[in-house]
Structure 1
């Protein structure tokens, strides 16, 4: 289970990874220098390597070393940034958020959802359906402008088992208006996965932080 705390071993892991990278870099430099010395020892005395050739080879190993150091620095910065995000994201725990989806979570006989309209609509209808796909209730939100709009459904008479869903039908002049259904979820914990911040929801699912559209 994800938690809002940061793994105390992260720093030591990062240090170990950095040490391993540095060790590999040192080995590469050592091999290069050994090959260069062997080349100098076995060169043709009548046609020795000139300064330009030696400088070029030294520049190559320095370039590789420099790139590796930059990569290591960027990797460490990314890990630290993710850790900071997780710490800041712990403030989300217990808050409701909006995400793409059409599930309705019933709490105290009510359920909330939202819709994001691509354009103005003169009619926005909400159909509430049982887990089996049967329409159990319908209501109209009326005319709405483009953008995000929330709604609350009275679920006191809902007797079906399982989580209900909803479908939005928006029209203007009889033509459909593109829309995106948004469901409400409660944040239970935050963490990180593969260097990215993740959010664990009340139903046990884990989603990337980028999936959150609005914090309520």
Structure 2
């Protein structure tokens, strides 16, 4: 009996996702049923003088059991993923009204001061922080000197600044003239949680929608 076509369908069922299997009308259960029907038909019509090889039958049965097991495992993983997403959405609701730190460059001035945070991808021997107004013009420049890799912060005295709203900042860092990656971070307030899309998002007061996994810290 030629199992080539059956093996081809078996491999496809093992590597395809559940949606694809449903779309093509082929599933692990259907493949298993087809295999059993073919096996029974062969046993009924085999030549008594040249019976089937037991080892070949055992191998084919082991393969079909593997396919069925993989299909069950995929279904279990998808169910766990769905439950995890629901738990994540419920947990994120508790963030409403709280402050979070996310990638961004917005500045908030309170009591004449503003604390800005950024993440350096490596050690730098020269770090420059620039504050820009709403038109993108630099209104203040701070040379911060040498800094280590990782999270850094700087508090700006804005008491004498002529503009304190709609501000942003940028950081430029170098090490022996080679650029060092600097990711600016902003502190914002969570106003709502958005679960309508494929990715869980937080709606922030100043930064708009931000993916939940972009949150660096809370508080």
Instruction: Return the TM-score normalized by structure 1.
Output: 0.68
Indicate the larger mover: 143-152 or 183-192.
Answer: 143-152
Q: Which runs of 5+ in 1 are unaligned?
A: 1-16
Residue of structure 2 equivalent to 1:181: 184
* Candidates 36, 56, 76, aligned match of 2:59: 56
For the 8 Å contact 2:97–2:191, the answer to whether it is kept is yes
CA change 1:176–1:67 in 2 (3 A) is: closer
Alignment of 1:14-25 (within 5 A): 24-25=27-28
- The alignment yields a C-alpha RMSD, in angstroms, of 3.5
For the 8 Å contact 1:113–1:152, the answer to whether it is kept is yes
Indicate the larger mover: 23-32 or 66-75.
Answer: 23-32
Residue of structure 1 equivalent to 2:87: 84
Residue of structure 2 equivalent to 1:7: none
Residue of structure 1 equivalent to 2:129: 126
Instruction: Return the TM-score normalized by structure 2.
Output: 0.67
CA change 1:152–1:93 in 2 (3 A) is: farther
Count of residue pairs the alignment pairs up: 190
For the 8 Å contact 2:105–2:168, the answer to whether it is kept is yes
Residue of structure 2 equivalent to 1:75: 78
Question: Could you tell me how far apart the structure 2 residues matched to 1:201 and 1:167 are?
Answer: 20
Residue of structure 2 equivalent to 1:207: 211
Deviation sequence 1:101-153 (CA, Å, 0-9, x none): 222246787654212344376x7543211343211233456776654333455
Q: Which runs of 5+ in 2 are unaligned?
A: 1-18
Question: Could you tell me how far apart the structure 1 residues matched to 2:114 and 2:108 are?
Answer: 5
